[in-house]
Amino acid sequence: MKPVRKVVIPVAGLGTRVLPATKSMPKELLPVVDRPLIDYVVAEAREAGIEQVILVTGRGKGAIEDYFDHAFELETTLKEKNKTAILDNVLKTVPVAGTVTYTRQQAPLGLGHAVWCARELVGDEPFAVSLPDEIVPDRPGFLKQMVEAYSSIGGNIVAVEEVPLEETSKYGVIAPKARKGSLIEMTGMVEKPAPENAPSNFRIIGRYILQPEIFSLLEKQERGAGGEIQLTDSMNALNSKQTFHACICEGVIHDCGSKLGWLQANLDLGLKNPELASAFKAYASARLKG
């Protein structure tokens, strides 16, 4: 069984749910406290033992590539002013040369198409997919939990969490077959079912481990909902040939693709930040009382 060494992170989206902020900057660079969303997602992948990060970019996303590069003027200025602590934090964002690669999604044809665009960089091996809207600040991250599960069961894995049954119409949910601890063998996935028709209340989170056979299915996949090539459609097709498990991950995941989710993430992480927590909590408490 080949290990999971690579992660595909689709970053070509327009970020329409958080407009107008994303009119002039990629949504993946929206800051949560003092780091952009993409930094949290890459850090989670590194913690899981991922060696290669593949970013599927689009027009107007060059700032993401700049973020994962040296900023020589900035670094030189910080060094000259002896701001070593800040400089160290800046340098931590620069990956080892060759461990982050980029490919373009040249048309907005959906998540499935974005993943397919990375096929040549992934090659014939299992890989992870992480959506940059959703961040997992605590450790162990969801991807590490999934990689550990994969080492024992193989196949394909999606991350899930329980939601109230009345909210299933907002998400893609799994159709369970059998459960063992935190792992659920699946028979398929259903997009946004009405509560009375939902096969479960386990919603799919933006973390996946997939086998490379998904690429041939994506290549032939017809457009689905929204006129886009849906990853879920090809995963359901693959589910008829290979095993799929859902991993119930422990911890909190923040959906920063919405304005409310982004605000909640800043509040949660701001209250946990050792430099800011005390003053921030006092300010938030005072504002809530007012």
Residue 38 clears pLDDT 80, i.e. is over it: yes
Residue 148 clears pLDDT 80, i.e. is over it: yes
Average pLDDT, the chain: 93
Q: What predicted TM-score, i.e. pTM, was given to this entire model?
A: 0.93
Work out the pLDDT band at 18, boundaries 50, 70, 90.
confident
**In the 8-state DSSP scheme, what is residue 223?**
P
Residue 132 clears pLDDT 90, i.e. is over it: yes
Give the whole-angstrom CA distance, residue 237 versus residue 235: 5
Work out the pLDDT band at 60, boundaries 50, 70, 90.
confident
Residue 74 clears pLDDT 90, i.e. is over it: yes
Give the whole-angstrom CA distance, residue 137 versus residue 251: 9
- Spatial contact of 229 and 223, defined as CB atoms under 8 Å apart: yes
Average pLDDT of the residues in 74-89:
95
Work out the pLDDT band at 89, boundaries 50, 70, 90.
very high
Residue with tokens 């050792």: 274
Could you tell me where the DSSP H helices lie in 154-258?
214-220, 231-239
User: What burial class does residue 27 get, using C-beta atoms within 10 Å of its C-beta: 0-12 exposed, 13-18 middle, 19+ buried?
Assistant: buried
CATH class of 6-289: alpha beta
Per-residue pLDDT at 205: 93
CB atoms within 10 A of CB 226: 9
Per-residue pLDDT at 174: 93
Work out the pLDDT band at 23, boundaries 50, 70, 90.
confident
**Interstrand relation of 52-57 and 254-255 (parallel, antiparallel or unpaired):** unpaired
Residue 254 clears pLDDT 80, i.e. is over it: yes
Average pLDDT of the residues in 119-135:
96
DSSP-derived 3-state class of residue 188: strand
Work out the pLDDT band at 1, boundaries 50, 70, 90.
confident
AA letter at 19? L
Q: Which residues pair with 203 in a beta bridge?
A: 161, 173
pLDDT tens digit sequence for 180-207: 999 999 999 888 899 999 999 999 999 9
Give the whole-angstrom CA distance, residue 58 versus residue 244: 30
**Interstrand relation of 134-135 and 254-255 (parallel, antiparallel or unpaired):** antiparallel
Instruction: For the chain, give every domain's residue range.
Output: 6-289
Give, to the nearest 10 degrees, the angle between helix 37-47 and helix 142-153: 30
CB atoms within 10 A of CB 109: 18
Per-residue pLDDT at 222: 82
Work out the pLDDT band at 14, boundaries 50, 70, 90.
confident
Average pLDDT of the residues in 113-130:
96
Average pLDDT of the residues in 9-21:
89
Give the whole-angstrom CA distance, residue 27 versus residue 16: 9
162-179 as b/e: b if 16+ CB within 10 A:
ebeeeebeebbbbbbeee
Residue 102 clears pLDDT 90, i.e. is over it: yes
Per-residue pLDDT at 114: 95
What are the backbone angles phi and psi of residue 164, rounded to the nearest 5°? -55, 140
One-character DSSP codes across 13-52: ---GGGTTGGGSS-GGG-EETTEEHHHHHHHHHHHTT--E
Average pLDDT of the residues in 164-187:
92
* Tokens describing residue 62: 């060059």
pLDDT tens digit sequence for 212-225: 999 999 999 888 77
Average pLDDT of the residues in 174-183:
93
> Residues near 149 by Cβ (< 8 Å), separated by ≥ 6?
157, 182, 183, 245, 247
In which region does residue 15 sit, left (phi positive, over 0), alpha (psi from -120 to 50) or beta (all else)? left
Per-residue pLDDT at 170: 87
Per-residue pLDDT at 228: 84
